[in-house]
Structure 1
């Protein structure tokens, strides 16, 4: 009898835990539902349910990844195109840092301007290689950064719509 009671109690606790976890995932899924790059969005926000916090994390991760990209570009050798990319990554990092400040001060117009500028900075790197008909050795990284910036703009739009707890 005691074993049966323990099993029922364990089952109810397990069921409650699973329900809570799935509810959390559902909220996170809702944040990323309409993102252009959903799997990337899910992996970056890692179950966060508040658009403000998710965006803050996403921008912080994007800054870190931009520093890595700049370092990677520096290890590819010397070329004018890579120099443009490194400069573009510096510009993107600056714009993303401004975006964080905009977010914290609730300057939504400034936030969108600076996120859009960062997205343009990443495109500049790819465009430089495309214009010279050369293959971008950091093209995959650059594309990933562009996709992350696009998702940041999407998350920003959720804050405008009131998905901030």
Structure 2
């Protein structure tokens, strides 16, 4: 199987199964008669930009990167409802705290929303800083985040 077809299958497997470890993905591929090494799967995971999302029990499962679609708000809402801790704003900045490991996912989704007045995000493992062009826009995005998690 060529790389393109293998990666297409990986996307399908990630979508249809809860996969927690690379070894599980290797096993599923082998079950589909695709011979791979863990190193190959690791490269595929990087190239496909797969992410890990925390689930119950302290585990993390692989998910596909969120693509820019008309349902970006729905995706942001789903993720925030699972990982949101708190939010606050001050002047032109809104800060969101999330469960560890989710900062980059939430940050990427916020950027895809293309909010009016959006300037940039800065994230780490569990914190997202959203920089807006005005204080009024920072207050609006804060209330939008609260609305999404309510």
Query: Structure with the greater relative contact order (CA < 8 A, sep ≥ 6): 1 or 2?
Result: 1
**TM over 0.5, shorter chain:** no
**Greater helix share, structure number:** 1
Which structure has greater strand proportion? 2
| Higher Cα Rg, which structure | 1
TM-score by length of 1: 0.26
